Each structure stands twice: as structure tokens, then as C-alpha cells.
Amino acid sequence: MSLLLFEFKKLFRSKLFLYFLVFSIIAVTLLFVRNFWQQESVRAEKITYFSKFARDVSMELEGNRKVLEDNPSPELEEQVRIGSMVYSQINEVVNAIQSQHSMDELTTENTLYQTAKQYKALDGTFYLSESEMDRVTRLNDQLIREGLPKEDLKLTIQPLLFTQLVLSYALTGFGFLALLLILLSSVTGEYEEKNIRLVYTLPFSRARYMLIKLGSFLVAGVVWLTIVTVSAYTLASQFTDALENQSAYPFAEVEGNWIQIADVIQNGLVLGGMALILVLTFGWFIGYTFRSTLLSYLIAILVVAGGALLVINGGPFQWNPLSALQVQQTLIDQYSTQWRIYLLLLFSIALLVMGTLSINRKRGV
């Protein structure tokens, strides 16, 4: 334990890790400030969104009425009748948004989409697909059951939702990579500065010292993840009136079931923690294998950042440990088979640990 504490103190004395923690807190604070000041614009954007539908329907109704003046048609008259209902219901949604009656907003939006489907069936123009209207309707129904208003998940200031937003930015390949590059030099620097020769004269085995170094990496990772999570939740809680039932907010729909935000955060922290262990163990592996800061940095960037980009562009791969580098995306895409990615991560971590100890067992300094 004393050796682990000594290694961890060395990380703080280098100041770089401390600066990274401070930067993380500042980044969380700036994100909250941005979201806080955007709350009025969220409402304005929703009004603009529905007003565009109203404008389009109004223009089509005006044209159809002119056509009816010269060419009466029962079909077109029915389209105009349903279109007028759509236009009226759009205005009801806008009024509910303006008056901040969240439950009225949800119920009137659902009614609007039901009428809009009839309008589209009569060849009317409404620029939302039926599948999208169905998805939003299911979300609104769930929110009504839970008694919750609809939140903009990218601009939310609700404590749990904001915490999830912060974690969705932090627990990515690029967030992991930033921490890894900061910690990696603590391994390679000892070889480049020849300090490792003194370390290996101390009365403990090389394997033990290497495992202690890995332990310091993992403690640093836990500290960073804890600070990011706690600072996000605490900041939002201090400046926001939290919803009573916010833990039940429906975050994503998987196989017809809604995943609540509390479950997403819990599972995300578990998966994110394991992904963080994998990345740090990989950094420990390349640090002790290549013993060069520049080369280790290059490999870390190629593997970690490259793996994250592959996941972003091509989706997660069920048997690829790099898929865990985008925690939120992987969690949603593989929610029903989480055990598979957990087993894969555990196997990869064990392989890296055994491989690193084996490679360095009889190597010279």
C-alpha cells in the first residue's frame, strides 16, 4: 500500500495529472453554464420547429382552397378539412410550449401526430415520417405516465440528465486517450531518464513494481471518473430545481422497452469503468514494452483514437473490445447482451496483464 501511495504521489507531483483534473472540472462547469443560458432558446427552438410545420400546412391549404374554387373535389375538400385540423393542433402545441404546460404539450403533440398521419394518407404534406411520429408518440406516452416534461438531452440542466451528458463526453475514446497520454509518461519517463535502474535495486520484484504502477494508473482513473461524475451532479443540483421523478426519465428505447436514465448512468459507469481499465492497462503494456514516450504516444493514438473513430463511423462490433471506447453508443446498441462486452473486456485486460509481465520478466533495464 505504501508503494502504491508513493506512485500516486508521484503523479500529483508531476502536476500534469492535477492540471487535467482541474481542466475536467472547468469543462464540466462551462458545459453547465452553456446549457443554463440556453434554456430560453430551447423553448424558442421548439416553437420554431412546430411553426415551420404550421407554415408549410398553411401554404398547402391556401393553394388547395384556390383549386377548390374552380374545381370542386370531395377528396380535396377532405384533405383541406383534415389539414385545417392539423394547422389548428400545431398552434395548440405552440401555445402549450409558450405557456410552459408540459403535460398539455405532450398530449397535444400526440394528437397532432395522429391527425397528421390522416393528412399524409390523403396526400397532404407533413415533413415527418410515420416512424418518427410513432417514436416521438411512444416517448411522450412514457413521459406522461411518469409525469415528466420533455427535456432536450443535449442542453439539459437536470442533475441526472446532465450527469449522463457529461459522462457521454468523458467516457469516449478521446476522453480515455487524454488521461492515458498523461499517465503513460510516468512509465516511459523512468526508462528515458534512467530512474528505473534505482527502482530495480529496491528489495521487491520487478513484477510487483509493475503491478503497483498499474495500480496507480487505475487509482488515477477512478479519481478522474469520480471527480467528473460528482462535479456534474453537484453543480446541476445546486442551480436547478430537480424533477421529483427524474431517475425514471426514459432515455432510450431498446426492443420496445424504455431504459431509464438511472439505469443508463449505472450501467454506463460500470462499462465505462471497465473500458477505462482496458485503456490504462493497454497504456501500461505499451509503456513497458516499447519504453519510449514518443513511440508509445503514437501507438496509443493510433489504437485508441483509431478504434474510437471506427466505432463512431461503423458502429460497435460485438466481439471487438475497442467497441467499448464509445460507452453510451455501445451500451444502447448491446443493451440486451451486455455480458458479452464485459467478458470480452475482462479477457482483454487479463491478456494484457499476463503479456506485459511475461515480456518484461527477463528483460534488461
**Could you write out the DSSP letters of every residue in 270-284?**
HHHHHHHHHHHHHHH
CB atoms within 10 A of CB 263: 16
- How does pLDDT run across 143-164, given as a tens digit for each residue? 999 999 999 999 999 999 999 9
The answer to whether 191 touches 290, Cβ cutoff 8 Å, is: no
Give the span between the Cα atoms of 67 and 173, in whole angstroms: 58
pLDDT at residue 242, as a whole number: 78
* 8-61 per-position pLDDT tens digit: 777 777 788 999 999 999 999 999 999 999 988 998 999 999 999 999 999 999
The pLDDT, as a whole number, for residue 354 is 94
Q: What is the distance between the alpha carbons of residues 360 and 278, in angstroms, rounded to a whole number?
A: 19
For the chain, report the end-to-end CA distance as a whole number of angstroms: 25
Q: What is the pLDDT of residue 255?
A: 80
Torsions phi, psi of 292, nearest 5? -135, 125
DSSP secondary structure code for residue 304 in this structure: I
Q: Strand 250-254 relative to strand 257-260: parallel, antiparallel, unpaired? A: antiparallel
Strand extents, DSSP E, 125-280: 250-254, 257-260
Query: Residue 141, SS3?
Result: helix
pLDDT in the model for residue 364 = 60
Q: HSE (CB half, 13 Å, CA atoms) of 198? A: 5
Give me the amino acid identity at 288. Y
* Confidence at residue 241, expressed as pLDDT on a 0 to 100 scale: 84
Residues in contact with 25: Cβ distance below 8 Å, sequence separation at least 6, in sequence order: 227, 231
d(CA 353, CA 117): 57
CB 219 within 8 Å of CB 145: no
Query: Who's near 37: CB < 8 A, 6+ residues apart?
Result: none
Rounded CA separation 327/268 (Å): 6
C-alpha span between 163 and 318 (Å, rounded): 27
Task: List the chain residues with pLDDT less than 50.
Answer: none
Q: Rounded mean pLDDT of the chain?
A: 88
Q: Residue 36 CA to chain centroid, in angstroms?
A: 19
